[in-house]
Amino acid sequence: MHLTIGAMSANGGICGDVAQAAKHSKTVVLQTSAGTAFDALGIKYQTLDDIYNTALDFDNLLSAARERLAGDCVLFVTLGDMCSNRIACAAAEYVRAKGGSVTVLPHANAALCAAFAAGAADGTKGVSVFCASAFERAADTGVTVVINEINSRLAAGGLKLKLARQYGDEYSVFIADTRTMSGKNIPLFRLDAEPSYGYYTSVVLPPLPLEQKKRFTFSDLVDVMARLRSQNGCPWDKEQTHLSLKRYLIEESYEVLEAIDEGDPDALCDELGDVLLQVVFHSRIAQQQGCFDVSDVTTAICGKMISRHTHIFGGAMADTSAAVLKNWEHIKKIEKGQRTASDVIKDVPKSMPALMRGGKVQQKAANAGFDFENASKAVDKLKEEIDELLRCTDTQSLFDEAGDLLFSAVNVVRLYGIDPETALQKATDKFVERFCAVETIAEQKGIDLKSGDLKTLDELWESAKKRV
């Protein structure tokens, strides 16, 4: 059993090697009926058109095609690149499994053809081609990578170090001599151990399985989520909805903020990944519902960033941060069809944390000219709200005035140029530290906090303030 694989161009043209092989083959099978050149040569051939027309699905087509191509001295002529043709790859794998042999005729990508002939690689998942002198890293290790013109041992050594970071030293690669269409599989660490190198030396790296990757791309994350949400995926992941995931997005976002506050870059890197996972998770759910996919998400944000940075991607001028923000808000109003300041204020999400929403609403009102003259005026309003709270005699009034008091406090803080959410978080952190110190001091002195009087608790607090 022997299978020869060649290729014809999109218009049915064939090269001399394919024509010569056709004359010496018992059976010639064309992928499709674009066989003008074979008709002119007087060569009899079959096609796979009948299988294309009757196959129930692509798996059924592959099965029928590979059985037809598994014979004695068969030439299969693909349309286009033979090395990325799934039928050719499936047939070659089938023939080899049956103990037969496969020959691949020279094609545009000689190194890939040599690797394909040896059963070392194929291009069905995609192919990236590089020149060794310009190679830095493989953008996608999930496709076949071909690197040509490794012209010296020094170049091979440098290439080996770059590839090892992504593939690992032991990864099996195919080193090819494109003059002879031959080559062999070697571990990556031996890439610079060949007897000679030249323009004819290439290396072919098969797609790296997801489970073996050392570094991952955004596309890999999308693939991981697709697998988790697939029919045979993870039961928990498959059960999730946009609603069930809401709390995780909030939690992960706060963990990002904590990593920033603690100045921990490793934790920040990790937590940003968790937030990115939530974005991909929601996008995958939406894709399965037929709403949108992750490319729509990236398209939306890239389009937004370009349209709102007209001083970078257009002809607008903005030399300061204030000018940038002014342009941003102006463009945003146009995009959202907001005609009044009320439209802008109502657009602030109600789901925001209360302090953050209060500050944002106040800032939007201030942008429209509705604001205190200065922070001291806002302090006077805060005092007024405190007095009103003290005069309350029923629960509903207390509730209303408490809200007014907090809203006024946010105004004061905002006008002093301080973010109220961050300020309260810091104050809470400080209280936690000092309370822990109070508890430690109380234990050392044998004081029970629950039964201590106000004077005792105040003394403990003052002691704690000296520690933290």
- Tell me if 41 sits within 8 A of 35, measured CB to CB: no
How much is the pLDDT for 24? Answer: 84
pLDDT band at 382 (very low <50, low <70, confident <90, very high): very high
Crossing angle between the packed helical segments 420-445 and 454-467, to the nearest 10 degrees: 110
pLDDT band at 13 (very low <50, low <70, confident <90, very high): low
pLDDT band at 256 (very low <50, low <70, confident <90, very high): very high
User: What is the rounded average pLDDT of the residues 218-244?
Assistant: 94
> What is the Cα–Cα distance from 33 to 72, expressed in whole angstroms?
22
CA 68-72-73 angle, 5° bins? 100
pLDDT band at 351 (very low <50, low <70, confident <90, very high): confident
> Over the range 290-311, which residues count as b (16 or more CB within 10 Å of their CB) and which as e?
eeeebeebeeeeeeeeeebbbe
Dump strand ranges (E) for 290-352: none
Q: Is the pLDDT of residue 340 over 90?
A: no
What residues pair up with 7 in beta bridges, in sequence order?
Answer: 78
DSSP conformation class of 208: P
- Which range among 30-34, 321-325, 367-371, 454-458 shows the weakest confidence by mean pLDDT? 30-34
Q: Which residue has the higher pLDDT, 87 or 259?
A: 259
Q: Which of 7-21, 143-157, 265-279, 419-433 shows the highest mean pLDDT? A: 265-279
How much is the pLDDT for 108? Answer: 63
> What is the Cα–Cα distance from 55 to 65, expressed in whole angstroms?
10
> What is the Cα–Cα distance from 294 to 66, expressed in whole angstroms?
36
Q: Which of 100-114, 151-165, 167-181 shows the highest mean pLDDT? A: 151-165
Q: Is the pLDDT of residue 84 over 60?
A: yes
How much is the pLDDT for 9? Answer: 66
- Which range among 181-185, 383-387, 400-404 shows the weakest confidence by mean pLDDT? 181-185
How much is the pLDDT for 35? Answer: 55
User: What is the rounded average pLDDT of the residues 376-385?
Assistant: 93
What residues pair up with 144 in beta bridges, in sequence order?
Answer: 127
Which is nearest to 183 in space by CA: 115, 102, 104, 107?
A: 115
Q: Is the pLDDT of residue 14 over 80?
A: no
Tokens 């103990």 correspond to 99
Tokens 């463009």 correspond to 331
Looking at every residue in the chain, the average pLDDT score rounds to 88
Which is nearest to 125 in space by CA: 109, 141, 104, 105?
A: 141
How much is the pLDDT for 299? Answer: 96
pLDDT digits (tens, 9 = 90+) for 55-73: 888 888 888 988 889 888 8
> What is the Cα–Cα distance from 168 to 172, expressed in whole angstroms?
9
pLDDT band at 11 (very low <50, low <70, confident <90, very high): low
- Tell me if 84 sits within 8 A of 124, measured CB to CB: yes
> What is the Cα–Cα distance from 227 to 234, expressed in whole angstroms?
8
Which is nearest to 75 in space by CA: 40, 112, 121, 24?
A: 24
How much is the pLDDT for 124? Answer: 79
Backbone angles phi, psi at 62, to 5 degrees: -60, -45
> What is the Cα–Cα distance from 156 to 133, expressed in whole angstroms?
10
Which is nearest to 123 in space by CA: 43, 31, 7?
A: 7
The answer to whether the Cα torsion of 220, 226, 231, 234 is positive or negative is: positive
How much is the pLDDT for 153? Answer: 94
Q: Is the pLDDT of residue 187 over 90?
A: yes
Q: Which residue has the higher pLDDT, 245 or 421?
A: 245
pLDDT band at 188 (very low <50, low <70, confident <90, very high): very high
How much is the pLDDT for 154? Answer: 94
> What is the Cα–Cα distance from 191 to 314, expressed in whole angstroms?
48
- Tell me if 148 sits within 8 A of 131, measured CB to CB: yes
Q: Is the pLDDT of residue 406 over 70?
A: yes
> Distances in Å between the alpha carbon of 354 and those of 43, 165, 184, 281, 358?
80, 47, 65, 27, 6
The answer to whether the Cα torsion of 309, 314, 315, 319 is positive or negative is: positive
pLDDT band at 86 (very low <50, low <70, confident <90, very high): confident
* Amino acid, res. 155: A
Q: Is the pLDDT of residue 8 over 70?
A: yes
> Distances in Å between the alpha carbon of 31 and those of 52, 62, 100, 203, 233?
9, 12, 21, 29, 35
Q: Which residues contact 59 (CB under 8 A, 6 or more apart)?
A: none
User: What is the rounded average pLDDT of the residues 298-323?
Assistant: 88
How much is the pLDDT for 250? Answer: 87
Tokens 């976002």 correspond to 253
